[in-house]
Amino acid sequence: MSSLFKKGPLPRYYQLKEIMREKIEAGEWKPGDLIPSERELCEQYGISRMTARQAITELVNEGLFFREQGRGTFVSHQKITQQLIRLTSFTEDIKARGQQPGTRVLLAQMCTPDEAAITRLRIKANQPVFHLRRLRLANDEPLALESSHLSFMGCERLLEEDLGQSLYALLEKKYGLPLVEAEQELEAGIATTEEAQYLKIPIGSPVLYIRRTTYTERNIPVEFASSVYCGHKYTFYVNLKRDQ
Ligand code: GLP
């Protein structure tokens, strides 16, 4: 039995949290590792089940651990921080984190736009758009499901492209469409059955819905994307300045 607990005002669950946090920081517990069960922690540290549960639950809520139904509790992967003021692509975000971006193309076709695409892309209802649905991965692990509608002259040529590569790079380098700015909305939600299957998370897990309209020069919209990100793997960062 460990004698790591100190006497004093700090509650035991809090001390256990700190012990587990240190194990992660020291690299003893790595991302994706299964952590000991409540019962094992009780035996190891001579604490009550409630103390172990509280420590684990708090670290789940803080995003350091994630639970998988029927499998146990695991150490989360370091969150990806996306700056909210810079317009970056998925590929750039993942590379900046030192990971390997990946894409599984689920759908690529010309179609008639839905209501959201008509409004965001400022097009007519009968104007065909390119619809691209992709599962986005980092080091082979699913992070987001993205559904993009694209509208620009000659967008049907995208059908012939390798869409496993960066879409932004393709638009900028091959199609001569500089991506200047974007509008983005974030909304909290819970994973549907289909989203959970693709993202390999339990149904009902927290997710972030992100809608982004990306503009080229002269404020012309080229892409409207609706994405679902695994809630426990993403942090959005924004620097706020107070009016002087
Ligand atoms: C982000 C945006 C998408 C955009 C994508 C481009 O994920 N939410 O709207 O399509 O970046 O990323 P990439 O260039 O890696 O395809």
Q: What is the pLDDT of residues 145-187, one digit of tens each?
A: 999 999 999 999 999 999 999 999 999 999 999 999 999 999 9
Could you tell me if the ipTM is greater than 0.90?
yes
Note the pLDDT of residue 84: 64
b/e string for 86-120 if b means 16 or more Cβ within 10 A? ebebbbbbbeebebebbbeeeeeeeeebeeebbeb
Q: Which atom of ligand 1 sits closest to the CA of residue 184?
A: 8
Domain residues for the domain of 114 are 80-237
Please check whether residues 177 and 88 belong to one and the same domain.
yes
Distance CA 95, CA 28 (A): 25
Q: Are strands 80-83 and 234-237 parallel, antiparallel or unpaired?
A: parallel
Q: Where a domain ends, among 25, 59, 75?
A: 75
Per residue in 67-100, pLDDT tens? Answer: 888 889 999 877 666 666 778 899 998 887 778 9
Percent of the chain at pLDDT exceeding 70: 92
Residue 197 within a domain: yes
Cβ atoms 183, 171 nearer than 8 A: no
93 lines ligand 1 (CB under 6 A): no
Distance CA 130, CA 159 (A): 8
Q: Count of domains in the chain? A: 2
184 lines ligand 1 (CB under 6 A): no
Distance CA 164, CA 65 (A): 30
Q: pTM of whole model > 0.90? A: no
Q: Which of 146, 171, 213, 234 to mutate to test the pocket of ligand 1 (most atoms within 8 A of CB)?
A: 146
Note the pLDDT of residue 69: 80
Q: Is residue 215 over pLDDT 90?
A: yes
Q: pLDDT band for position 233 (50/70/90)? A: confident
Note the pLDDT of residue 1: 47
Per residue in 101-138, pLDDT tens? Answer: 999 999 999 999 999 999 999 999 999 999 999 999 99
Q: Is residue 66 over pLDDT 80?
A: yes
Q: pLDDT band for position 243 (50/70/90)? A: confident
Q: Which two tokens stand for residue 144?
A: 């987001």
196 lines ligand 1 (CB under 6 A): no
Q: How far is the CA of 64 from the centre of ligand 1 (A)?
A: 26
Residue 194 within a domain: yes
Distance CA 12, CA 50 (A): 10
Residue 7 within a domain: no
91 lines ligand 1 (CB under 6 A): yes
Cβ atoms 224, 120 nearer than 8 A: yes
Residue 6 within a domain: no
Residue 181 within a domain: yes
The separation between the first and the last C-alpha atoms of the chain, rounded to the nearest angstrom, is 57
Rounded to an integer, the average pLDDT of 17-26 is 88
Please check whether residues 60 and 150 belong to one and the same domain.
no
Please check whether residues 53 and 168 belong to one and the same domain.
no
Please check whether residues 146 and 195 belong to one and the same domain.
yes
Note the pLDDT of residue 185: 93
227 lines ligand 1 (CB under 6 A): yes
Q: What are phi and psi of 77, to 5 degrees?
A: -80, 150
